[in-house]
Structure 1
Amino acid sequence: MSRLTVLALVLWSLHVTANVEKVIFTAPDAQPKIQDASLDNLFLTTLSESYPSVRTYINASFPTNTSTKGTESWFLLDGLVPHRRYEVRICWAATQPTSFWLDTYMVNTAFSDASLISSLSTYSYLRHDQLTSKDVQTLKDRQHKHDPNQETTILFLQIFAAADYFSLNQTLMDVVPPVAIDLILDPYVFNVLPKSLIPTGLYLGLIGIFAWFASSWILRHLFSNNSSAIIPPSKKVD
C-alpha cells in the first residue's frame, strides 16, 4: 500500500458523515443530585458513560407552521464529568430520510423555561401511556448510579425529528413511521479526540507505519534492480 493510498483512506474516513447528526458540548460545573423523584418520574432514556448507547425508535413528523422542526423527543445525559468534552451522535438508516436537530440544556434551565418544561412534560406524559412494565424496569436499570465522592453533572438532550421525503404512497405521507436510531454518548480523550475513534486512529497509524517501511523497501529494491541493469558487465581481457 502506497503512502498516497493511506492518505486517501484517511481523508475518506474524515468525510464519511452520511446519516449521522451530532452535537458537541462541554459538561458544565458539577450539580448537586436532585433528591426528589422529579427526574425519575419523567421516564427518560438515560445515556451515561456506563450506558453510552441505545437503539430505539423516535417519532418524526413533517414540518408545520407550529412545529417547523418536526416532533420533539427528550433524553437524559447523566454522570457527566464536569468540564469534559462530549459528543452525542444520532445514526439512522438511509431508508428513512429524516432531518435531526440536537440541543442540550442544563436541568435548571429546562425547568425555568416555560416552553421547555411544557415540551418536556408533554413528551413524558405521552410516554407514560406507551411504556410497559418491562420498559420501565429497563429505564431504571440504565439509570446512572451516583457516587457521593464523585462530582458529576446532568443535562437534558432535546431531539427534533422532521420527515424529509416525498412518497406516492399516501399512507406514508399521512402517517410518518417511527425512525429507528442509534444514539451514542461519546466522551473525548483529553478533550481532543472522541474515545470511539481511538481504535480507528491506532489502526490507521499502524497501517501508515507499515506502508512507510513497505514503500521504502520497494523503492530500494527498484533502485537496486535499475542500477544492476544500467552497469554493463566487465569485458574479459585475454
Structure 2
Amino acid sequence: MRARPWLLCISAAVVTVNANVEKTVFLGPAALHLPPGWPSLEDLHVDTLTPTGPSLLATQLPVQFPTEKTPRGLESWYILRSLERGRRYEVRICWPAFQPTDFWLDTFPVDQVFDTPELLSSLAEYSQQRQSAPLQKLQHSSATPQSVLFLRIQAAASYYSTNKTLMEYPPPVDVDIILDPFILNILPHSLGPTAIYLSAVAVAAWFISGYIYRAIIAVSEELDEKDHKD
C-alpha cells in the first residue's frame, strides 16, 4: 500500500520533534591558581568543554532509577575551561524524547569542589571510573591561572517498564552537552543567526506592509473618485 502524502508529512514532523533540553546559565569566574597539593585537572580524566572548541560533546550518560540514597540518579562530571570572567554562559544538555530522563545541571568553582568532601568524593569516584575511558580534553599547565568551573550532571531514568531487566539496568542515554557563550551577556551565541533572521524578516515585513497599505489606500481613493463621477 502506498503511503499517503499527508501521512509522510506527519511522520516527518514526529521525527523532527525528537529531543528534550535542560540547561543552566552562569557567569565565568575569575582566573584561579591551583594551590600546591590540590589534584591536577589534567589528572582527573574528565572531559573538557571550552567556548572555542570543543564546545559540544556527544556522549552517553549512565542513568539509574531514583532511590532514597540517590534521588537524582547517577552523577557525571565535566570541566568548563577557558571562560571569561563576568561573561554569561549557558550549558545545555539535549537527549532523545524516546529516552525519558530527568537531568539536573550544576556548576561549581574549583575551590568549592576541592573543599567540600561530598563533592570531592563524587568527583573522585567518577574520575576513577573514567581512568580507562577515551578522553576529550585540552592540555593546560596547572601553573597558569585559569577561569574554570566544574559541571555536575545528575541523571535519573523517568519511565516504567514491565521488563525487570530494563528496570534494574536502564541503558545509557544519548546526549549532546553544549557550552554556549552569550553575546553581550544578552543572547546565546548559537541563537545569533536566528535573531538576525527574525530581525530581517520583521524589517522586511514592516516595509512590505507599508507598501501594501499605501496600495490599498490608493485603490480605495481611485474607486471613490470613480463612484463620484458616475
Whether TM exceeds 0.5 here: the answer is: yes
User: What's the counterpart of residue 52 of structure 1?
Assistant: 55
Within a 5 Å distance, the mapping from 1:1-238 to structure 2 comes to 19-32=20-33, 38-50=40-52, 51-129=54-132, 131=133, 135-136=134-135, 139=136, 142-143=137-138, 145=140, 152-232=146-226
Q: How many residues align?
A: 211
Q: Secondary structure at the match of 1:128?
A: coil
Same amino acid, percent of matched pairs? 42
Query: The residue matched to 1:80 in structure 2 has which SS?
Result: coil
Whether the 8 Å CA contact 1:82–1:152 is kept in 2: the answer is no
For structure 2, list consecutive stretches of 5 or more residues without a partner in the other structure. 1-16
Which amino acid is 2:117 matched to?
Answer: A
* CA distance in 2 between partners of 1:128 and 1:199 (Å): 39
Q: Which residue number in structure 1 is paired with residue 14 of structure 2?
A: none
Residue pair 1:81, 1:153 contacting (<8 A) in 2 also: yes
Once residues 108 and 68 of structure 1 are traced to their aligned partners in structure 2, the CA distance between those partners, rounded to angstroms, is: 26
The 8 Å contact of residues 78 and 144 in structure 1, kept in 2 or not, is answered as no
Q: Per-residue CA shift, 1:74-99, capped at 9, x if unaligned?
A: 00011111111111111111011111
1:79–1:234: structure 2 CA closer, same or farther, 3 Å change rule?
A: closer
Q: Give the aligned residue type for 2:47.
A: T
State whether residues 42 and 140 of structure 2, in contact with CA within 8 Å, keep that contact through their aligned partners in structure 1. Answer: no
C-alpha deviations, 1:161-212, integer Å up to 9, x for none? Answer: 0111112333322211101111111111222221111111101000101111
Q: Distance in 1 between matches of 2:51 and 2:210?
A: 43
Q: Deviations over 1:34-77 (max 9, x none)?
A: 67862212111100122211111111111000000011000001
8 Å Cα contact 2:84/2:147 also seen in 1: yes
Read off the aligned partner of 1:66 and give its amino acid letter.
Answer: K
Stretches of structure 1 lacking an aligned partner (at least 5 in a row): 1-15
Distance of aligned partners of 1:235 and 1:125 in 2 relative to their CA distance in 1, 3 Å threshold: closer
Deviation at 1:230, TM superposition (A): 2.4
- How far does the alpha carbon of each residue in 1:144-169 deviate from its partner, in whole angstroms, 9 at most, with x for none? 557x99x6411110000011111233
In 2: Cα distance, 1:27 partner to 1:235 partner: 73
Instruction: Provide the rounded CA distance (Å) in 2 between the counterparts of 1:34 and 1:191.
Output: 31
The whole-number CA distance in structure 2 between the counterparts of 1:205 and 1:184 is: 25
Displacement of 1:106: 1.1
Deviation, 1:33, is 5.2
